[in-house]
Structure 1
Amino acid sequence: MVRGRDVILEALENLNEDEFKRFKHRLGTQPLRKGFSSIPRGTLHSLDRLDLTDKIVCYYLEDYGMELTAEVLRAIGMLEEAVRLQQAAGQV
């Protein structure tokens, strides 16, 4: 069975270093649903892909974490990766 955490991690692993850096920057400024708070910027910039996946799931849970990850991917121009994530999320 596919888990949301795995889907998010796979999407982040498909980003090169520059894309990953832009992802983290945008994640820190992305508008969030009511009731959720941003991951502190100081924390975000030091995280690798695995640790960022854990933070996303801790802060936003798996369902919203996948949705937010797709939103951020679209915002940084990674449309193909966002679509791939959404398709995989449909299997969760």
Structure 2
Amino acid sequence: MDGRLLGVLTTALENLNESELKKFKIQLCRVELKEEYANMTPAALQRAEPVEVEQLMFKHYGADYALDVAIDVLEKINVRGVARDLRREAEKDQQKDLQVQRREEGVQRREKEVELRETQVQLREERVHLREERALVREQRATVREERVQAQEDKVEIREKKVQELEDAVHVREEKVEKREQKVQELEAAAEKQQG
């Protein structure tokens, strides 16, 4: 119940005559309530004016329940016209609350739709990003394969150089051996001449 309905309750209580207001206060102390609520005491209500009664009800029962209690009490003391008017006002207020609630639900639904769209856009962007990342990974793998091939070619080249170097070294040694053999032959030939 909003402030407007509390004002309606005050007006309803002010429109009661002295006898009706007295009956209202007495019945308010006896009315059957929901389990979690307790009745108000006669001492609290005895000298209370309509505005004070409304304020006490508001504090005691809370905004939502105070009007229901007032309607119930008014019906029990046979002031049904005022009870009916209060009920109409409460129903109007409930209708307004329902409309507001529906609008809020509509807004929440639209917000969820917007959030969903934003999430879908983010997912699409993520998918694009993942495709780009995968393409980059494929390129890097291709580069690694090329590097491996190049490394193998480089190793072959190095080995060929080493083999060539070894062959050159062997050739040099062979030439040295040949020269030594020639010298030995020359020395043997010289020695034969000296003996002969």
TM-score between both structures, scaled by the size of structure 2: 0.45
Partner of 1:59: 60
CA RMSD in angstroms, aligned pairs only = 1.4
Partner of 2:179: none
Distance 1:36 1:7 in 2: 23
Secondary structure class of the residue paired with 1:29: coil
Cα displacement (A) at 1:4: 2.8
Distance 1:91 1:61 in 2: 19
Secondary structure class of the residue paired with 1:91: helix
Distance 2:70 2:24 in 1: 9
Give yes or no for the alignment of 1:42 onto 2:43.
Answer: yes
Tell me if the contact between 1:7 and 1:66 (Cα under 8 Å) persists in the aligned partners.
no
Cα displacement (A) at 1:3: 2.4
Letter in 1 for 2:47: S
Tell me if the contact between 1:7 and 1:89 (Cα under 8 Å) persists in the aligned partners.
no
Partner of 2:89: 88
Partner of 2:121: none
Letter in 1 for 2:66: G
After the TM superposition, which segments of 4 or more aligned residues of structure 1 sit over 3 Å from their partners? none
Partner of 1:31: 32
Cα displacement (A) at 1:48: 0.7
Q: Which ranges in structure 1 are unaligned for 5 or more consecutive residues?
A: none
Distance 1:3 1:67 in 2: 15
Tell me if the contact between 1:4 and 1:63 (Cα under 8 Å) persists in the aligned partners.
no
**Structure holding more helix per residue:** 2
> Number of residue pairs matched?
92
Structure number with bigger Rg = 2
Cα displacement (A) at 1:2: 5.8
Q: Which ranges in structure 2 are unaligned for 5 or more consecutive residues?
A: 94-196
TM-score between both structures, scaled by the size of structure 1: 0.92
Distance 1:72 1:55 in 2: 15
Structure 1 stretch 70-79 or stretch 35-44: which is displaced more?
35-44
- Higher RCO structure (Cα 8 Å, ≥6 apart): 1
Distance 1:57 1:2 in 2: 10
